[in-house]
Structure 1
Amino acid sequence: MSARGFASIGLVRPKVSANVGGVMRAAHVFGASLVAIQGDRTPVTSCQDVTKAYRHIPVLRGDDLWSLIPFDTVPVAVDLVPGATELPSFTHPRRAFYIFGPEDGTLGGELLDRCPRRVMIPSAFCLNLAATVNVILYDRMAKLRQSIRRAA
């Protein structure tokens, strides 16, 4: 797989520690470069993170998610909101900062207004936070591999 570009994850006030552990594991498994967490509702470590991803991927924490976004990345809101592109037709930015809301809410207008890209996973109901991160990162990896095969 090409080493160009990267995916980073932003979590807004996650509520459930098991989900943070699942997000950390997904980030590690799918090669995310960074996990940034706004707020301190949950610990970073969890029994769901059997790979102990926090030892291998930088984890940043703060009160302002925007101060944690890597330079020259595209903020992508992942939320069930009007105008979001459905994942099957979504083209992932080369340098992406995927922002996921809390389990007990959505990203809200202020965050959404700052995201030039929005994506949603078409489903009958909203997904669990960790499951959503897994689906987004897997889709990114699969589409990247497909584009590399086409270029070869």
Structure 2
Amino acid sequence: MIDNFHNEFFGIGIQNGKTPENLGVLWRSAQNLGASFIFTIGNRYAKQACDTHNAVKSMPYYHYDDFEEFYNHLPKGARIVGVELTDEAQDLETFHHPRRCVYLLGAEDHGLTRQAIEKSHMLVKFKSEFSLNVAVAGSIIMYDRGINKPRS
């Protein structure tokens, strides 16, 4: 019998993040909320992140220079879930999390690139009049995944 836990994983990352502090907070949340790995795309800030729990030693971190490099290195079978405040995005309240996916967040000031939105397998948003801090948005997504378990 196949153990479903081992067939399920998720990673979370930021495209063109503004500050290392956001990555550090997201990294800590990812460690606490069950992510398998964390990643960044682009290079808007120094690669050092504030990490009060030293998550770098307990969770893989990947950096990609651009979206194409990220896309070409997606784990087999993983779906890209873009987190973006657009009309096309599905509400988080009714969203069914994929068993294997990567959640892709954009920076607060620019969001995801058009290419990232077009290449995402699905888009999700939550009720918010304005964009949230990227680490907060990522934490909400991961928390929701934890309470609304992925379906087969």
Task: Give me the TM-score of the superposition, normalised by structure 1.
Answer: 0.87
The aligned amino acid for 1:34 is F
Alpha-carbon shift at residue 41 of structure 1 (Å): 2.3
- The DSSP-based 3-state class of the residue aligned with 1:144 is coil
Q: Which residue of 2 aligns with 1:24?
A: 27
Q: Is the 8 A contact 2:108 2:132 kept in 1?
A: no
The aligned amino acid for 1:54 is V
User: What is the aligned-residue identity percentage?
Assistant: 31
The aligned amino acid for 2:54 is K
Q: Distance in 1 between matches of 2:121 and 2:43?
A: 26
Q: Which residue of 2 aligns with 1:55?
A: 57
Matched, 1:69 2:74: yes
Q: Which residue of 2 aligns with 1:9?
A: 12
Residue deviations 1:27-62 (CA, integer Å, cap 9, x gap): 10011011111122233420xx32111111111112
Structure 2, unpaired ranges of 5+: none
The aligned amino acid for 1:10 is G
Q: Which residue of 1 aligns with 2:125?
A: 120
Q: Distance in 2 between matches of 1:17 and 1:87?
A: 26
Structure 1 runs of 4+ off > 6 angstroms? none
- The DSSP-based 3-state class of the residue aligned with 1:136 is helix
Structure 1, unpaired ranges of 5+: 148-152
Q: Is the 8 A contact 1:86 1:121 kept in 2?
A: yes
Q: Is the 8 A contact 1:20 1:44 kept in 2?
A: no
Task: Give me the TM-score of the superposition, normalised by structure 2.
Answer: 0.87
Q: Distance in 1 between matches of 2:83 and 2:128?
A: 13
Over aligned residues, Cα RMSD in angstroms? 1.8
Q: Which residue of 2 aligns with 1:36?
A: 39
Aligned length: 144
The aligned amino acid for 1:92 is H
Q: Distance in 1 between matches of 2:56 and 2:44?
A: 17
Alpha-carbon shift at residue 3 of structure 1 (Å): 4.5
The aligned amino acid for 1:99 is L
Q: Distance in 1 between matches of 2:44 and 2:74?
A: 20
